[in-house]
Amino acid sequence: MKSCGSMLGLWGQRLPAAGVLLLLPFLPLLLLAVPAPHRASYKPVIVVHGLFDSSYSFRHLLEYINETHPGTVVTVLDLFDGRESLRPLWEQVQGFREAVVPIMAKAPQGVHLICYSQGGLVCRALLSVMDDHNVDSFISLSSPQMGQYGDTDYLKWLFPTSMRSNLYRICYSPWGQEFSICNYWHDPHHDDLYLNASSFLALINGERDHPNATVWRKNFLRVGHLVLIGGPDDGVITPWQSSFFGFYDANETVLEMEEQLVYLRDSFGLKTLLARGAIVRCPMAGISHTAWHSNRTLYETCIEPWLS
């Protein structure tokens, strides 16, 4: 079938100039008959909220995605909202896993994960335990990936009589591990207790031997890109470098990711990901913890480029 342009050329050869002029008013209609170029579809986006959050917190993020990538299917998983987010993290991982499996099954081209705060740890565990996940970009939005060690309003509400210096007495007990925040409480002054008692973070970090370590590492390495976002004015994640896999040593000096044992040993794949250029670090100052998912500049700089 000849294109509209070539047809006009043929008519121009057969008709006198006056005849061509008579056709000009109909040119817009002829152009409408030309198929519009196919717009590339975007991969579905799955959003996982943080501690005490709900899907409503992400209304601005949804607006940004719809504006910049119209037609994108975005699912903000409405599970473990509010106080339910204090449930043990492995319980949450199972619930979120059941929710993401059918979404991934309908997206053979892959999906993107945007996971905020505590949700970033849930997502990292999902990537570890799912043998057949198809996550292209895992966007970790101000998440305590190497743990939390700081006095925050959340802690004061949950454990009003405890400070960070003695919270290990609660968190590193069987009772304490029933609270999500204790699953990633990381006291640098009691490392042995952390390694022995942590039922979640020490396992997904590969800091403690377990029979699934090799498989989990292999699964995690299926991810296309790991995008790490955080900043010095967060006010909740402590140290804020935990969002980039940095953390305190025993003297509370922050060691960056490349100085951490989990990186040097490549215990769950960080070193491998960095070597293949799959880790993106996007630090940004001036953003408080509750504003990460509503800041337009942050979205355009650190999130939107990875939503293919």
- Of the listed 57, 117, 140, 180, which one is catalytic? 117
Nearest-angstrom CA–CA distance, 217 and 260: 17
CA-to-CA dists, residue 45 to 88, 114, 226, 281, 307, angstroms: 25, 7, 15, 20, 8
CB 14 within 8 Å of CB 89: no
CA-to-CA dists, residue 93 to 20, 121, 171, 181, angstroms: 68, 9, 19, 14
- Of the listed 143, 190, 225, 234, which one is catalytic? 234
Nearest-angstrom CA–CA distance, 274 and 228: 12
Please identify which residue in the block is written with the tokens 């590969």: 206
- Is 132 a catalytic site residue? no
- Is 136 a catalytic site residue? no
- Of the listed 112, 186, 225, 289, which one is catalytic? 289
Structure tokens at 303: 């999130």
Distant-in-sequence, close-in-space partners of 144: CB < 8 Å, separation ≥ 6: 117, 118, 120, 121, 184, 237, 238, 242, 243
- Is 153 a catalytic site residue? no
Distant-in-sequence, close-in-space partners of 251: CB < 8 Å, separation ≥ 6: none
CA-to-CA dists, residue 94 to 41, 62, 89, 204, 260, angstroms: 30, 25, 9, 14, 28
Q: What secondary structure does DSSP assign to 132-168, as a single string?
A: T--EEEEEEES--TT-B-S--HHHHHHSTT--TTTTH
**223 three-class SS:** coil
Q: Which are the catalytic amino acids? A: 117, 234, 289
